[in-house]
Amino acid sequence: MNSSLLNIDTTALLIIDIQEKLLKAQFEQEKIIKNVSILAETAKILDIPVIISEQYPQGLGFTIKEIKEKLPENTDFFEKTSFNCCLESGFTDQIHRINRKQILICGMEAHICVHQTVHSLISLGYDVHIIQDAVTSRKQSEYEYGLKRMISYGAIPNCTEMAIFELIKCAKHPQFKSIQNLVK
């Protein structure tokens, strides 16, 4: 397992399938919305690239507005029908194009789309940080199984607050107050 700390210049954020119709059935919805919004806004403040996947948006709806309104303007949206983002045509090209080695991952569902995508990204050589308090499934047990599996094959466990402060490194960072205000 790679234990390197996050770095602004080498990190990207991948938000998986936080869509209108899918969210209704998820465990701890409010916590997920709050933490993914914090991650999205952090990416905007620190100019970190963001990719959002949407699983069959024609049927499942689009990324929820609470998250959309926090995103950087240059966010890449990616439609998919595969559970694993990496199996979708063009996705790995998109990941390679942003040229970041560390990928923060949040979204749904931990035991399906998140799990399969994390596995593939690790296989491709990325350092994958799974933001545990920004990932969910329909049932808590499915969430827990998904996390155990991802961590067992090399995903780095992380959480929202740990990740955002790890990115800025110290209180002297020019965006410290903006980041601090996100978690107050």
Report yes or no on 23 lying in a domain.
yes
For the beta sheet containing 76-80, the strands, ordered from the edge strand earlier in sequence to the opposite edge, are: 76-80, 50-55, 11-16, 102-108, 127-136, 156-158
> Do residues 100 and 10 lie in contact, with contact meaning Cβ atoms separated by under 8 Å?
yes
3-state secondary structure of 114: helix
Look at the chain and report how many structural domains it folds into.
Answer: 1
CB atoms within 10 A of CB 28: 15
Report yes or no on 50 lying in a domain.
yes
pLDDT at 129: 97
User: 67-112: per-residue pLDDT in tens?
Assistant: 999 999 999 999 999 999 999 999 999 999 999 999 999 999 999 9
Rounded to an integer, the average pLDDT of 21-33 is 90
Whether 5 has a pLDDT exceeding 70, the answer reads yes
User: 127-156: per-residue pLDDT in tens?
Assistant: 999 999 999 999 999 999 999 999 999 999
Whether 25 has a pLDDT exceeding 90, the answer reads no
Report yes or no on 7 lying in a domain.
no
Report yes or no on 4 lying in a domain.
no
Alpha helices in 99-173 (DSSP H): 115-123, 140-152, 160-168
Supply the range of the domain harboring residue 53: 15-182
Report yes or no on 151 lying in a domain.
yes
Report yes or no on 71 lying in a domain.
yes
Report yes or no on 139 lying in a domain.
yes
User: 31-72: per-residue pLDDT in tens?
Assistant: 999 999 999 999 999 999 999 999 999 999 999 999 999 999
User: Which residues are catalytically annotated?
Assistant: 17, 80, 113
CATH of the domain at 118: 3.40.50.850
Helix (H) / strand (E) containing 32: helix 29-46
Report yes or no on 2 lying in a domain.
no
What the block records as the tokens of 47 is 């100019």
